[in-house]
Amino acid sequence: MSLVAEIDAPEGHAKEVIRALGQVFWYSASLKRQQLLTRQYPACLVVGLAGIGAVGYEHGDYWSAVHNEAPGQVDQTFWGRAFRVNLDYFRLARFPGLPQVYVGEILMHAGVPAYCLGDLLNLLLHRQAREPGLTGESFLAWALAPGRESRLHGTDKPVQRFIQRGEDYAADLVDRCLDLLERLRQPGFTADGLGLSPHLIERAQALAEAEQLDWTGSSERGGPAAQAAPQRPHLELEPFGRGLMVWLPPVHDAADGRVMWQLRFDGEVESVVSQSRWPGTSETAPAAAVAIARPARQVTVEVAGYDQEYELDAVDPRDPLLVFTEDGRRVPATTGLPPDPVWLLYRTRATAVGRSSCRWMATWSTRTTCRPRTAGSAGRCAAPTFARCRSYGLAAEHRAGSRVPAAPNCNSPSHCPE
């Protein structure tokens, strides 16, 4: 566990803890207050402050909700500093660099405050209208795409920071919120098995009843558009074959068993036809795979006639290391690395006929030596500087326990333009 929100403490417990801590803190001698919050009741302080953030934050104001439970008994600076000390004590996630030193980290550990839930749900609905079959993983990939920071500008700050730094927990929460939205569409709502906190479910129901959720254009996760291609395209790696590829899922009930895929590699269009081997008016067009034959930061995939669009981030120029599982599936940069062998794909330089060029190097590693490359992680994988090159090849090395070697910057203007 890395976030306090994962405990899912009941709202009443959090408020009761803050009231009790306030009284004990107020009547304690000044010299004993630090020990009280960091030695005697560190877990109570962490759970209480994060719990209040989940239910009491409104309009950028956090501390008023804390003071409402313990009027005149809370020293904001003292309690905020103790909260951060206790995070280190319990080895919980830290989030340095946030504008509000204390409130920022408290709200990160609160998850998505109930007050901000409408921002998140409407953002999911808007994205779902463009991408039926949306998942938590695909939503985070879209929201955190390099150079697309504006996609989150319409949401409250706690939601933005949670999406940007929440990693695995954020993806899981988004999946649960998508399930919540699907149930809110149904005439008989039930919360059984959702796995969401009661205050979030109550807030979502209130938003739906007040018609503050924008259902325009959104479709059910199991609707016709999602059923056409129930799986989404993704990147795959064939280290001893075609290299880095875009996998295209089968499309059910395709007219004449044929579909046309449109792929844009940083604006350059490539068309791919998937055709069933069996004749018929409504057959399944089989899955297909397209090798990425040129460097691309982003791949956009569309299914002609189905109004579906998917965006795949190929290489982030700020952090170009790609990680794949043993069977070639990509490990998202927003999730932790698995405790299994992985392929590491990175830039390197090759020399041929007296000239330098850039290529991919795939390295096999049987152990994980660092965390994913997201802000707020405990560690950071070092990776060489990325330069966009006109051509590259793919080489594979099968090594046990290898690290990513340092690679020279590809800075030749004739082959690797900025």
* Structural domains in the chain (count): 4
The confidence score (pLDDT) of residue 279 equals 65
Residues forming a β-bridge with 58: 61
The confidence score (pLDDT) of residue 159 equals 94
Residue 88's CB is within 10 A of a number of other CB atoms, namely 10
The confidence score (pLDDT) of residue 366 equals 46
Last residue of a domain, one of 209, 241, 258: 209
**67, 104: one domain:** yes
Q: For 174-257, where are the E strands, in sequence order?
A: 234-238, 243-248, 251-255
Domain limits at 198?
A: 114-209
The confidence score (pLDDT) of residue 216 equals 83
**26, 97: one domain:** yes
The confidence score (pLDDT) of residue 342 equals 85
**Residue numbers of the chain with a pLDDT score lower than 70:** 1, 217-230, 279-282, 294-295, 307, 334-335, 347-418
Two structure tokens written together for 7: 């405990």
In a domain, 413, yes or no: no
The confidence score (pLDDT) of residue 334 equals 65
The confidence score (pLDDT) of residue 219 equals 57
**16, 80: one domain:** yes
**306, 349: one domain:** no
Distance CA 49, CA 46 (A): 6
**159, 192: one domain:** yes
**194, 145: one domain:** yes
**93, 147: one domain:** no
The confidence score (pLDDT) of residue 61 equals 94
In three-state form (DSSP H/G/I as H, E/B as E, the rest C), the secondary structure along 93-105 is CCCCCCCCHHHHH
The confidence score (pLDDT) of residue 402 equals 34
The confidence score (pLDDT) of residue 346 equals 74
The confidence score (pLDDT) of residue 412 equals 32
Amino acid at 330: R
The confidence score (pLDDT) of residue 230 equals 56
Measured CA to CA in angstroms, residue 227 lies from 2, 135, 253 at distances of: 35, 14, 9
**120, 186: one domain:** yes
The confidence score (pLDDT) of residue 137 equals 87
Two structure tokens written together for 30: 């000044």
Last residue of a domain, one of 178, 209, 240: 209
